[in-house]
């Protein structure tokens, strides 16, 4: 589960199925940990997102469930996506709405109003095999489908219209996605071509090949200077990559 930093605390949810959803708050100043237990059981938390005053937890069960945690009152509210196949894989906040990406076979993304949990669906294209990750770059919503090769979508948040960028053969199985203020970064499961750097101004991209054994990029982060990649391959690694355009 992706950790979230709110400026004071680090938040995370264990990715455990068949259990009540538990949210943890870690204080890096004191190493203190608080936990918050929801009333929701037997769901599989998959992704965590921060919205002003609230944390949102997307669950990878069917039908898809997402939870709002009010950081002031410490109360959970449960919402459901009305679809038996809706397994939530990704969330991102655009300053107004929460965007939801789904596991295949759903070929759509959803724009959710965080004030009441209602949402609007936007169709992608046939064969898109879900929307494994979604990010916001300040103008566009970006999502990547688990296709072979990967299809990256640039989505207009006002109406859901989109442009598709199909990556070169060999780039597939998206597992992480990040906007660093300049580029969209995409981490993939295969051993080769693990990192893709896409320029959102012209949709051009560059593939960065990593060394043998540096595979399965399941997490990406940035610190203003470097891209950090967490690898879940045969050898567990944490890479620090110098940003380049």
Higher pLDDT, 92 or 40: 92
Whether residue 54 sits in one domain with residue 148: yes
Is 106 found in the same domain as 60? yes
Q: List 122's β-bridge partners, or say none.
A: 109
Q: Give CA–CA dist 20/12, Å, rounded.
A: 14
Provide the number of structural domains found in the chain. 2
C-alpha torsion sign, points 87, 90, 93, 97: negative
Domain boundary among 166, 193, 226: 166
Among 166, 196, 219, the domain boundary falls at 166
Q: Structural domain of residue 226, as residue ranges?
A: 169-245
Query: Are 14 and 33 members of one domain?
Result: yes
Can you give the CATH number for the domain in which 9 is found? 2.120.10.80
24 and 136 housed in the same domain: yes
d(CA 66, CA 222): 26
Tens of pLDDT, residue by residue over 119-139, are 899 999 988 888 888 999 999
Same domain, 108 and 175: no
Binning pLDDT at 50, 70 and 90, where does residue 218 land?
confident
Q: Say whether pLDDT at 158 is over 90.
A: yes
Q: Which residues, in sequence order, are bridge partners of residue 237?
A: 231
Shared domain for 177 and 99, answered yes or no, is no
| Closest among 121, 119, 177, 120 to 145, alpha carbons compared | 177
- 183 and 152 in a common domain: no
- Residue 108: Cβ within 10 Å count: 18
Torsion of CA 32, 38, 41, 47, to 10 degrees: -70
Confidence check: pLDDT of 210 > 60: yes
| pLDDT of amino acid 85 | 67
141 and 193 together in one domain: no
Q: In this structure, are 96 and 188 located in the same domain?
A: no
Residue 183 and residue 78 in one domain: no
Closest C-alpha among 76, 86, 90 to residue 2: 90
Give the residue, 223 or 121, on which the prediction is more confident. 121
The answer to whether residues 200 and 184 touch, using CB atoms and an 8 Å cutoff, is yes
CATH number, domain with residue 236: 2.40.10
Q: Which of 22, 79, 25 is nearest to 45 (CA)?
A: 22
| Strand blocks (E) in 115-242 | 119-123, 133-136, 141-145, 151-155, 162-166, 174-179, 184-188, 195-198, 205-208, 217-222, 226-232, 236-242
* Domain end (from 141, 166, 191): 166
**Same domain, yes or no, for 123 and 176?**
no
Instruction: Decide: 207 and 161 in contact? Cβ < 8 Å.
Output: no
Is 190 exposed, middle or buried, given 0-12, 13-18 or 19+ CB atoms closer than 10 A? middle
Least confident of 26-35, 82-91, 119-128, 177-186: 82-91
The candidate with the shortest Cα–Cα distance to 69, out of 28, 106, 98, is: 98
| Residue recorded with tokens 């469930």 | 65
Residue 183 binned pLDDT confidence (cut-offs 50, 70, 90): very high
Band (82; pLDDT cuts 50, 70, 90):
low
Q: Do residues 137 and 29 share a domain? A: yes
């Amino acid at each position: 589960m992706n950790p979230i930093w709110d400026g004071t605390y680090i938040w995370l949810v264990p990715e455990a199925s068949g259990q009540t959803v538990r949210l943890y708050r870690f204080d890096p100043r004191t190493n203190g940990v608080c936990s918050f237990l929801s009333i929701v059981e037997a769901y599989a938390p998959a992704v965590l997102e921060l919205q002003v005053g609230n944390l949102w937890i997307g669950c990878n069960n069917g039908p898809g469930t997402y939870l709002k945690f009010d950081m002031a009152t410490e109360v959970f509210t449960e919402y459901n996506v009305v679809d038996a196949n809706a397994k939530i894989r990704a969330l991102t906040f655009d300053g107004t709405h929460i965007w939801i990406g789904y596991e295949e076979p759903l070929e759509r993304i959803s724009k959710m109003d965080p004030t009441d949990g209602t949402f609007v669906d936007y169709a992608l294209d046939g064969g898109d095999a879900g929307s494994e990750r979604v990010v916001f770059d300040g103008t566009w919503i970006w999502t990547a489908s688990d296709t072979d090769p990967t299809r990256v979508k640039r989505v207009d948040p006002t109406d859901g219209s989109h442009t598709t960028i199909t990556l070169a053969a060999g780039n597939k199985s998206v597992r992480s996605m990040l906007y660093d203020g300049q580029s969209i970064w995409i981490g993939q499961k295969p051993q080769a071509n693990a990192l893709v750097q896409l320029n959102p101004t012209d949709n051009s991209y560059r593939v960065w090949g990593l060394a043998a054994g540096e595979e399965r990029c399941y997490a990406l982060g940035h610190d203003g200077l470097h891209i950090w990649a967490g690898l879940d391959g045969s050898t567990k690694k944490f890479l620090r990559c110098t940003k380049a355009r």
